[in-house]
Amino acid sequence: MATKAPVTCHVLDTQTGKPAANVQVTLSKMDNTGASFSSLAQGITDADGRCTNIMEPQALPVGTYKMTFATKPYFEASNRETFFPFVEIIFDLKYPEQHYHIPLLLSAFSYTTYRGS
């Protein structure tokens, strides 16, 4: 049995140089036809910009997943505009025994991501 959520994330606001707290995060899985995603879990980033408890520790099946970050409300809360109302990161989970960490480096008009550890 896994000891932590199989997928976690971390959001950093590169404009302010600080963690992005209170960003809603949704984890979804692509259906077998590849036509749509179904929501599996939701969470909110903590004061350190992390969402480590988006779901209970468990193994996830191999498949294509999507992490959606609701960025517009985050920027609106600090009276900033953004070009991206949300950010979707789609990734293949090929090794269910491994942990998948999705960092998001965010500013109002750009973002980048990578597979973290």
pLDDT in tens, 54-63: 888 788 999 9
Model pTM score: 0.93
pLDDT of residue 1: 46
88-109, pLDDT tens digit by residue? Answer: 999 999 999 899 999 999 999 9
pLDDT of residue 2: 53
The segments of the chain whose pLDDT lies below 50 read 1
pLDDT of residue 59: 80
Binding-site residue set: 10, 50, 114
Nearest CA-CA partner of 116 in 1, 41, 11, 39: 11
8-state DSSP, 2 = -
Q: What is the DSSP string of 30-87?
A: E-TTSS-EEEEEEEE--TTSEE--SS-S-PPPSEEEEEEEEHHHHHHHTT---S-S-E
pLDDT of residue 53: 86
pLDDT of residue 4: 76
pLDDT of residue 28: 96
- The strand order across the sheet containing 37-44 reads 37-44, 24-30, 63-70, 87-93
Binding-site residue set for substrate: 10, 50, 114
Domain 7-113 falls in which CATH fold? Answer: Immunoglobulin-like (2.60.40)
